[in-house]
Amino acid sequence: MIQRRQSLWLLFSALLGAGVFFFDLYRGEIKVGELTEHKVLRVADHYPSLLIAIVMVALPLVTIFMFRDRKRQMRMTALSIISALSFLTMMLTRVTGLSKLTPPVTEGSYWVGAVLPALSLVFLLLALLGIRSDEKLVRSVDRLR
């Protein structure tokens, strides 16, 4: 059924994943003499991040409609968790790479786009727990037959 709680968690995860396209990931300042240049990290500026972000949005949406095959739904949710973790890893790698620029970023802070994949990861974990509990329930009912 599409009305299950884990379907809502998957939808929330996809919506939060889509938020990375609209918000900056990181904003920093590069000081060159007395001038200050602003450096902004966005998903659209980095092709590998863009591909992983698309996967991070599409997989939970596809997973919602696999409610008849819970084992496949669990695998797809696990793959969504891996994509969210890889996006976070790539984002942190890009941010640490800013310190290697010439001149390096002196001040910076994470923005809303950096928090959204972590929240998406929480919703994916909740969905996975819900799918597992449904699978246990179906197995226990099958045992009674």
pLDDT tens figures, 114-134: 999 999 999 999 999 999 988
**What is the Cα–Cα distance from 9 to 81, expressed in whole angstroms?**
13
Domain that holds residue 123: 5-25+43-94+112-137
pLDDT digits (tens, 9 = 90+) for 15-69: 999 999 999 999 988 887 788 888 889 999 999 999 999 999 999 999 999 888 8
Strand ranges (E), the chain: 26-32, 35-41, 105-110
In a domain? residue 104: no
**What is the Cα–Cα distance from 24 to 29, expressed in whole angstroms?**
14
In a domain? residue 35: no
Query: Scanning the structure block, which residue is given the tokens 């009674």?
Result: 144
Q: Domain total for the chain?
A: 1
Which pLDDT belongs to residue 96?
Answer: 86
In a domain? residue 99: no
In a domain? residue 31: no
**What is the Cα–Cα distance from 63 to 72, expressed in whole angstroms?**
8
pTM: predicted TM-score of the whole model, two decimal places: 0.88
Closest among 93, 84, 74 to 117, alpha carbons compared = 84
